[in-house]
Structure 1
Amino acid sequence: MNTSQQATLYTTLLSIMHVAMVNALVQGGTNVCGGTGFETYPVSYAQRYTTYCGGFIPCTLYRTAYRIEYRLASGVLRCCDGWEEDNGQCIRPVCDPPCQNGGTCVAPNDCNCPAEYEGQICDSDINECSGSHGGCDSICTNTIGSFYCSCPSGYTLNGDGRSCDAVCDPPCQNGGTCVAPNDCNCPAEYEGQICDSDINECSGSHGGCDSICTNTIGSFYCSCPSGYTLNGDGRSCDDKDECLYNNGGCQGSCFNNMGSFTCNCGSGYHLADDNLQCLDAGAEKSDQQPRQL
């Protein structure tokens, strides 16, 4: 195949390819319109070229070549206004001007906007702080395409990014809760600005104890004097009957008293100095005294 034939074949292929692309649209297809438009067609012309005649002498010859030209024609298939061709189909909508800020063109001049923007082409910022205050507990600040929450002085932003927690500095002690800037709500056993002072429960009402009240850090307890035992309520005292166990240690008879007991010996005997043992009456006498335990 000589040079002239190669050129002719090349231009002819270009023309066929172009016509095939134009004819890819189907009459009656979705968003396909017909009307007056430009179409392409091949035009032949004499193309001059230089070669060698007789092997040595340069000479000028002519060959037939083709070029693509355009002409106005009716019945040309094209995508309807607002649509572009994509792989032989008019399925790509056109938004002019184009959608902004990540908006998507879903129909001719119809943009689907992200949540932070509005407007025909998504070029208007939405103020998230209006209406519901952005869900912020306190301060809502609008930004382009977003917003953020913040808190007034004395408060700190919580982990949820919306609610505020009061700040107590120094922090509340002993289980106290910070309810306002530097304001601690203390449990019943403590007081003070940061709940660091123990309350003496034994002052005033004596802690509700019948007898002995002992204050401790953060609490208290009741107890009873000798000869008494603490009741099940943890506050009142009952007399202890010492004679019930081992006869109170008496060698003779044991008599229970409120808070104490007394040992007594039979006729001809008297109590020893320990108020427990009984001695023969002929031995050295000792005054009978109640035995306190």
Structure 2
Amino acid sequence: MRALNALLGAALLSVLLVADPSHGTIVVPAQEAAQFLRPRQRRSNQFLEETMQGHLERECVEERCSREEAREVFENEPETEYFYDRYLECIRVFGSPYARNTGLITCVHNKDECFVNNGGCNQVCLNKPGSYHCSCFSGYVLQSNNRICEDIDECKHSTAICGTARCRNHLSSYSCHCNNGYKYNELVKACEDVDECEQKLCEQTCVNTPGSYTCHCDGRRGVKLSSDMNTCEDILPCVSFATEKSIKSLYLGRMFSGTPVIWRRFKRKQSTRFVAEFDFRTFDPEGVLFFAGGHQDSTWIVLALRNGKLELQLKYNGIGRVTSSRPSINHGMWQMISVEELERNLVIKVNKDAVMKIAVSGDLFTFEKGLYQLNLTVGGLPFRPNELIHSINPRLDGCLRGWNWLNGEDSTTQETVRLHDKMQCYAVAGRGSFYPGRGFAIFNLGYMASSGDEQAEGNWTISMTAEIRPAADTGVLFALVNEDKAVPLSLSLIDYHSSTKIKQQLILLSIENTTVSSLEVNVCDSDHSVGIFIAKETILLTVDGVAGQSEMNHAQLKASLNLLNDHLQRDVKTYLGGLPDVAITSTPVTAFYHGCMTVKINENALDLDDSVYKHSDLTSHSCPPIETGK
């Protein structure tokens, strides 16, 4: 076969050399013609013996190949296109294949394995002369097969990568997370509190706390937090009380100071006997109805109540006496009472039945400056109570109507009462103290054990029960306040939970501004009995016999009780129905209580008439009923 090829080549060469150009033949230079005569192997019928690399060597390295020749080597367009452009670049850089530059050989044979199927890499394939390798994106690592990349779980590989924050793995990355109310500081790798108060989220007062914040509204101005926990809204009644008043009634308890609500001075030209008649209603066991006479050192009488019974103190000619009737009249029903001078006797009648008859020597009217004169005060005394024959608390939560003094018409008093509703009584009233949503009462009470008991030295007990009928769902029932206006202890109604920030009606027991115990109660549906018992190591809240839920663990509770103990070693005042002008944030609730309430502390019933201060709008012993059908 080789001999035949040589023979044919020689013959062809002879033809070409002798051809005459004038006859249309082509004369090829000897060097180029030699290329045709150089022995060449067949391309297509020896694929079992020759590889593609061999074809590439002969076609494009040993000599310059065309695109069509490169197509015969690769047998597909994509690889041909990729190779041939690179091939031309290699020739540009290293010169013609005939120059036999070894750089061209390396350049042509540097196959890009990454071209087909990314070299088997599932992420990055990096080609290099004579070889290639797989690589991964940031956040991935190459598996042992050197082909597949898998995600690096930075949270497991480096447990401290987020510091005190929580690490969350992602594909190719990770992130550091903090609880709500905190933000991540990458420099110190820690969660830092977000001060939400800087964002002006609260309408009134904002208090930042670790991881959260609380808004506070000034309850003393009649507002509370709304449902969004940021803005304030008015405290509105949830129950309507029948607070209508009677313009024909005179309220005796308006002046907490014990001074009279009515002062009258009668002058007569002739000697006149004393006559007084009126209808009277009260639940109060003690207080002054009226005084009649001259001055403290002259002749006078005082009609009062003590232990619910009528008591008459009188002084004639420097001699004082005290007498009382048998039946109790502080049952809240209207009854007619009369006092009359008859034949040197004073006769007191209840519903026209004589209950007292006292012999007297002298007249209540005193003759002065040519006239018979008499002073009358209603609902109080013209002098100090300790100057009576038997001292008495003059404050009386009672009502008069249909009064008649000295058988004369008292139009002046009637007009004054008509124009001033605070001088009027509730048209209907029951037992209990009424708190109208403004004002409070203050008591000086001791909670420490007797100093004579050595074992009890420094110990204290707070036992309080309250029967309540609320008209609103927010307000202070009971509180202790020290001279620095801190609030060591408070019992309150509120309509939201400060921790969960969920609207719900609760009764809270708090030490300073921290809730110790709470219980969810529909406070506006009926009367409720609320109790607390607190000692050095015990604290208990009950509502209608159900124990409250603790808001603290044992260690926190112990710390709070120690704090309360420190407060009780100093003087504290007891507040009912509200608080003085304390800081809004000093306790969870600052609003005034609205509704009826009676209170016992350490088994002793508290009478608002015995307080050291009481707002004039609070009634000590009369509470209006709930309006029918509301």
TM-score relative to the length of structure 2: 0.18
**Could you say which structure has the higher strand fraction?**
1
Higher helix share: 2
